[in-house]
């Protein structure tokens, strides 16, 4: 095993501070988690990447964990996340990095690579495919996805305080239901109402299904780590990412339809709506991700790919990294 134990530190970036955990030495690989998670989502990747000869660094995205949690909603715009990532690379004394993201972290990683190709020389995307900026205003598009009596979860998350009021009274129970609802081994049957829609006037957790067991990848102790972070921070910082979708669409107008040309990787799960709903985005990869090295859809895998299928994801990540980092 690696001689380098994981090391926690806080680094200053122009927008505040970012908490990170690093392990290993070598070319920098920056790992960016999604909603509602933590640096801890990469606990299975850090030692393996370190052992393979890389400096693996998992951050708490702003609004999460021990990173800064600004008050203003617009402090969570995509441009701020990109700036944080550039700041982290600089604070670590590196010129360039490979960036890998999951869920919202995938979008943050993609935009970091798109806006700062001088810093982010390769990009790995987990669960959420790259789709260039375009189309109608996002909240208008999401409003059309919902029916008369229910709304798309991103629309439900828009109003400040609504989702917080649902989640914060029982953070641990809510997280358990959310993680289980999107995991291949515990997700409700296909005829169960989708977790991705909320009945008007209802709550997302109404759709969780029976909370009888945790998914196999999530031990009680792991859930304690996640719950402890959100019990301390609250949910607003995490939810504010969703509250910037229109602002991002405006900010990113200069990159409308732009491809990402660096060496890239995609890994999704065939039971994950984040992957399957965006099948057209994956089909468009020859145009939108011309530097794609490899793309993988894992069978029988849900949303939490790097935790549900740690061994497989680690193998794919290391193979991909070695393709353009000659030891």
Tell me which of 103, 248, 251, 272 is the catalytic residue.
103
Residue 45 C-beta-side C-alpha neighbours within 13 Å:
33
User: Is 7 among the catalytic positions?
Assistant: no
DSSP string, 191-203: TSPPTTEEETTS-
Find all residues with CB under 8 Å of 75, minimum gap 6, and list them. Answer: 15, 62, 240
**CA 241/CA 64 separation, integer angstroms:** 11
**CA 101/CA 42 separation, integer angstroms:** 10
**CA 79/CA 254 separation, integer angstroms:** 13
Tell me which of 81, 102, 196, 303 is the catalytic residue.
303
User: Is 103 among the catalytic positions?
Assistant: yes
Residue 14 C-beta-side C-alpha neighbours within 13 Å:
12
Residue 142: Cβ within 10 Å count: 21
Catalytic residues, which ones?
103, 303
């Amino acid at each position: 095993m690696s001689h380098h134990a994981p090391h926690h530190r806080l680094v200053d970036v122009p927008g505040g501070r970012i908490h990170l955990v690093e392990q290993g030495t070598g070319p920098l690989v920056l790992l960016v988690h999604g909603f509602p998670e933590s640096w801890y989502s990469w606990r299975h990747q850090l030692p393996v990447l370190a052992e393979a000869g890389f400096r693996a660094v998992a951050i708490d995205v702003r609004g999460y964990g021990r990173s800064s949690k600004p008050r203003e909603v617009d402090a969570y715009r995509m441009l701020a996340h990109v700036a944080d990532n550039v700041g982290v690379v600089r604070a670590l004394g590196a010129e360039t990095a490979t960036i890998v993201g999951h869920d919202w972290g995938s979008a943050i990683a993609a935009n970091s690579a798109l806006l700062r190709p001088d810093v982010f020389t390769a990009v790995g995307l987990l669960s959420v495919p790259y789709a260039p900026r375009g189309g109608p205003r996002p909240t208008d598009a999401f409003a059309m996805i919902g029916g008369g009596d229910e709304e798309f979860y991103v629309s439900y998350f828009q109003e400040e305080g609504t989702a917080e009021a649902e989640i914060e009274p029982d953070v641990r129970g809510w997280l358990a239901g959310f993680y289980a609802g999107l995991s291949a081994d515990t997700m409700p049957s296909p005829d169960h109402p989708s977790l991705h829609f909320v009945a008007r006037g209802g709550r997302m957790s109404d759709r969780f299904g029976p909370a009888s067991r945790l998914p196999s990848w999530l031990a009680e102790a792991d859930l304690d780590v996640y719950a402890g972070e959100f019990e301390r921070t609250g949910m607003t910082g995490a939810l504010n990412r969703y509250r910037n979708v229109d602002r991002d669409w405006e900010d990113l107008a200069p990159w409308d339809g732009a491809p990402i040309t660096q060496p890239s990787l995609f890994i999704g799960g065939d039971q994950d709506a984040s992957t399957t709903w965006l099948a057209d985005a994956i089909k468009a990869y020859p145009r939108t991700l011309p530097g794609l090295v490899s793309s993988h859809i894992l069978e029988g895998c849900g949303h939490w790919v790097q935790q549900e299928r740690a061994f497989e994801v680690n193998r794919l990540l290391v193979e991909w990294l070695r393709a353009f980092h000659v030891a």
